[in-house]
Amino acid sequence: MPTAAVLPKGTFSDEAARYFFQGVPVELKYQKMIADVFKSTARGDTDWSVVPIENTIDGSVSLHMDWLVHEVDLPIRAEWVFPAIQNLVGRRSELTGAEGGDWDPSKITKVLSHPVAMAQCYEFLRSRLPHAELETLSSTAEAIRTVHANPGLGWAAIGTHTAAADYGLDVLQEGVTDHDNNYTRFLLVGDKPFDKPGASHYKTSILITLPEDYPGALHQVLSAFAWRRVNLSRIESRPTKKKLGNYYFFIDIEMSLDTVLLPAAIAEIEAIGCQVRILGSYPSYPYEG
Amino acid sequence: MPTAAVLPKGTFSDEAARYFFQGVPVELKYQKMIADVFKSTARGDTDWSVVPIENTIDGSVSLHMDWLVHEVDLPIRAEWVFPAIQNLVGRRSELTGAEGGDWDPSKITKVLSHPVAMAQCYEFLRSRLPHAELETLSSTAEAIRTVHANPGLGWAAIGTHTAAADYGLDVLQEGVTDHDNNYTRFLLVGDKPFDKPGASHYKTSILITLPEDYPGALHQVLSAFAWRRVNLSRIESRPTKKKLGNYYFFIDIEMSLDTVLLPAAIAEIEAIGCQVRILGSYPSYPYEG
């Protein structure tokens, strides 16, 4: 069975991976850190890596992009989005009010979570649980594990459904993040091709390094896409790490490389002296509840 | 004395803030989470917020940018860069080999740190301390505090000089991050103006929302800068959170708003139907060892 390296059990990445691989025979291989995820696939121990890449609490987006560019050479095989929903998790039985019924906010003495997850739920915590102590841990999975290990204290965690189920805890309230429309993008990277039905469209991700930094350089690069009416869905400059102020650009294009227009645009960009590295041309899967 | 809200004592942000405010009379007010940092300044309890904004381990860059845009309305007053250096910290006395001298790597049983700091030192840990257990905590400051609280076990942490000094621990090895040329950008935001000598140049940060997403829209916006030979040092698209696929752009311009060219370019961009929000026009300070 093919294998995919993913961050630890019960993390947000684990939940997104389980969702994505529904009906696809893939074995998840849990790794302690994102570096282990990438290295596992680069060594050939796993077929793919699951990498959170935008708007994520599982690590640092820029670190993950840097790894993808500097440390490994693994093509992107698929992309999916997954709602960045956090939940309030605890033991309903120990949090029920005197008159029974649902959980009673005043019974919660402490809320544990990852610092970024905590920040994403700031308004919820302030309005609903203003009296609760807040404690930050290294991951939401660790927070749920800690609540599980300390019964009878009125502790709750902010974390995933998956980890709540794994530890037999109750989801007291779903979707406690302050903004609803928060989606995290995940990439599947690896040498092995991947395909499953249900893609909404195809995308191509490239990395462009400018020959030198001069005003209008990026504008010139974008011209090659603009006059062809090729749509870009994301653009981001990142330092090259060789010199401060020396940048490359990540560009996501809403088109497969397997067309006439895109290779022609890339050839033009190379002709004006830019380095173009193709990070992958891959299907994009929407979230389907 | 003016006050600045900053993430907890001993974090990387704390170290960068102490460096930046050398010789400037400012009192640091430590806050538990980035949300508290922003809110403190927005409420008027502090004059400025210290916000890590690029390539940071203190939280999530995109979350910080989102707060700056959606949750508060605080102009950027200054920018500085600070080297993202991590150090191996412990008690030299308990890690010295039988023959005395310096610390002995084989005596280190466990290394504690923040998951992203750990990932940034992956090669160092693998080559120098392959036998050590790795444990992740919510911050490097927390890791150093934990090592301080558990003497005699051969534990070490990856973290800042500042936190090592605060807890009376030794810096066993400086600069254990795998890449040398790692700088973190910090912003100072708040209603109160800020100025100190030593700026290398001025910058202006703007947020552009396109009227609709059509191919070439960004190219058209960049034309306004390109033909004026105005240099952009950073560009990044971020989802608006209103609708998936709806983006705005952060653009950093290497020029003060207090010139002829820049207001003219912005007026032109507004004239083609874009919304432009000026996040700040401010001095940029280089790192000076």
Mutate which: A208, A222, A233, A251, vs B, most B CBs within 10 A: A222
User: Is B61 inside a domain boundary?
Assistant: yes
User: Is B39 inside a domain boundary?
Assistant: yes
If you average pLDDT over every residue of chain B, what do you get?
Answer: 89
CA distance A89 to A83: 18
Domain final residue pick, B145, B164, B189: B189
The CATH number that applies at residue A237 is 3.30.70.260
Mean pLDDT computed over B65-73: 84
Contact between A215 and B236 using a beta-carbon 8 Å cutoff: no
User: What amino acid is encoded at B91 in this protein?
Assistant: R
Domain final residue pick, B189, B223, B252: B189
Interstrand relation of A27-30 and A3-6 (parallel, antiparallel or unpaired): parallel
Longest dimension (CA), chain B: 75
pLDDT at A211: 75
Sheet holding A110-113, edge to edge: A133-136, A110-113, A155-159, A87-90, A170-173
CB contacts of A114 in chain B (<8 Å) are: 138
What single-letter DSSP state applies at residue A214?
-
Please indicate, yes or no, whether residues B113 and B154 belong to a single structural domain of this protein.
yes
Those of residues 83-122 in A touching chain B at CB distance below 8 A are 114-116, 118-120, 122
Q: CB distance from A35 to chain B under 8 Å? A: yes
Please indicate, yes or no, whether residues B77 and B102 belong to a single structural domain of this protein.
no
Q: What is the pLDDT of residues B137-195, one digit of tens each?
A: 888 999 999 999 999 999 999 999 989 999 999 999 999 988 776 788 899 999 999 98
CB A43 within 8 A of CB A86: no
Contact between B115 and A122 using a beta-carbon 8 Å cutoff: no
User: What amino acid is encoded at A18 in this protein?
Assistant: R
pLDDT at A110: 96
What single-letter DSSP state applies at residue B71?
I
Helix (H, G, I), strand (E, B) or coil at A112: strand
Neighbours of B243 (CB within 10 A): 10
Residue environment code for A91-102, b if the CB has 16+ CB neighbours within 10 A, otherwise e: beebbeeeeeee
Q: Which residues pair with A27 in a beta bridge?
A: A3
Q: What is the pLDDT of residues A266-283, one digit of tens each?
A: 999 999 889 999 999 999
Contact between A60 and B63 using a beta-carbon 8 Å cutoff: no
CA distance A157 to A172: 10
Please indicate, yes or no, whether residues B78 and B94 belong to a single structural domain of this protein.
no
Interstrand relation of B87-90 and B27-30 (parallel, antiparallel or unpaired): unpaired
pLDDT at B246: 64
pLDDT at B237: 80
pLDDT at A55: 67
Contact between A183 and B244 using a beta-carbon 8 Å cutoff: yes
CB contacts of A225 in chain B (<8 Å) are: 215-216, 219
CB contacts of B139 in chain A (<8 Å) are: 115, 136
CA distance B244 to B229: 33
CA distance B246 to B209: 9
Helix (H, G, I), strand (E, B) or coil at A134: strand
> What percentage of chain B has pLDDT greater than the value 90?
56
CA distance A219 to A212: 13
Mean pLDDT computed over B90-108: 85
pLDDT at A189: 97
Please indicate, yes or no, whether residues A76 and A140 belong to a single structural domain of this protein.
no
pLDDT at A29: 98
Please classify residue B236 by burial: count the beta carbons closer than 10 Å to its beta carbon, then call 0-12 exposed, 13-18 middle and 19+ buried: buried
Please indicate, yes or no, whether residues A205 and A281 belong to a single structural domain of this protein.
yes
Mutate which: A86, A219, A234, A269, vs B, most B CBs within 10 A: A219
User: Is A95 inside a domain boundary?
Assistant: yes
CA distance A6 to A30: 5
Chain A residue with Cα closest to B179: A241
Compare B26 and B64 and report the one with higher pLDDT: B26
User: Is A153 inside a domain boundary?
Assistant: yes
Taking each helix axis from N to C end, the angle separating B261-271 and B217-226, rounded to the nearest 10 degrees, works out to: 160
User: Is A194 inside a domain boundary?
Assistant: no
Rg value, chain A, Cα: 22
Please indicate, yes or no, whether residues A26 and A98 belong to a single structural domain of this protein.
no
Sheet strands (E) in A103-245: 110-113, 133-136, 155-159, 170-173, 183-189, 201-209, 232-239
CA distance B59 to B53: 9
Q: What is the pLDDT of residues B232-288, one digit of tens each?
A: 888 888 766 555 456 788 899 989 999 899 999 999 999 988 999 999 999 999 998
> What's the start-to-end Cα distance of chain A, in Å?
26
CB A157 within 8 A of CB A111: yes
Phi, psi of A168 (to 5 degrees): 65, 30
Domain extent, residue B139, equals: 87-173
Domain final residue pick, B128, B155, B189: B189
User: Is B73 inside a domain boundary?
Assistant: yes
The CATH number that applies at residue B129 is 3.40.190.10
CB contacts of B65 in chain A (<8 Å) are: none
Please indicate, yes or no, whether residues A205 and A159 belong to a single structural domain of this protein.
no
Please indicate, yes or no, whether residues A91 and A73 belong to a single structural domain of this protein.
no
Q: CB distance from A245 to chain B under 8 Å? A: yes
- Counting as low any pLDDT under 50, the low residues of chain A are 244
Token pair 């395909």 is at which residue? A195
- Cα separation values, A170 from A100, A126, A147, A162, B243, Å: 16, 21, 11, 11, 31
Please indicate, yes or no, whether residues A102 and A26 belong to a single structural domain of this protein.
no
Domain count, chain B: 3
Q: CB distance from B198 to chain A under 8 Å? A: no
CA distance B169 to A255: 54
Phi, psi of B24 (to 5 degrees): -110, 125
Q: Count of A–B CB contacts within 8 Å? A: 158
User: Is A178 inside a domain boundary?
Assistant: no
Q: Which residues pair with A209 in a beta bridge?
A: A248, A275
Please classify residue B59 by burial: count the beta carbons closer than 10 Å to its beta carbon, then call 0-12 exposed, 13-18 middle and 19+ buried: buried
Mean pLDDT computed over B113-133: 90
CA distance A259 to B223: 27
CB A65 within 8 A of CB A30: no
> What's the start-to-end Cα distance of chain B, in Å?
26
Q: CB distance from B27 to chain A under 8 Å? A: no
Please indicate, yes or no, whether residues A228 and A264 belong to a single structural domain of this protein.
yes
pLDDT at A244: 47
Q: CB distance from A243 to chain B under 8 Å? A: yes
User: What amino acid is encoded at A237 in this protein?
Assistant: S
User: Is B97 inside a domain boundary?
Assistant: yes
Please indicate, yes or no, whether residues A79 and A101 belong to a single structural domain of this protein.
no
Please indicate, yes or no, whether residues B107 and B154 belong to a single structural domain of this protein.
yes
Contact between B216 and A234 using a beta-carbon 8 Å cutoff: no
Grade residue B213 by pLDDT with cuts at 50, 70 and 90: low
Rg value, chain B, Cα: 22
Chain A: closest CA distance from residue B50 (Å) = 16
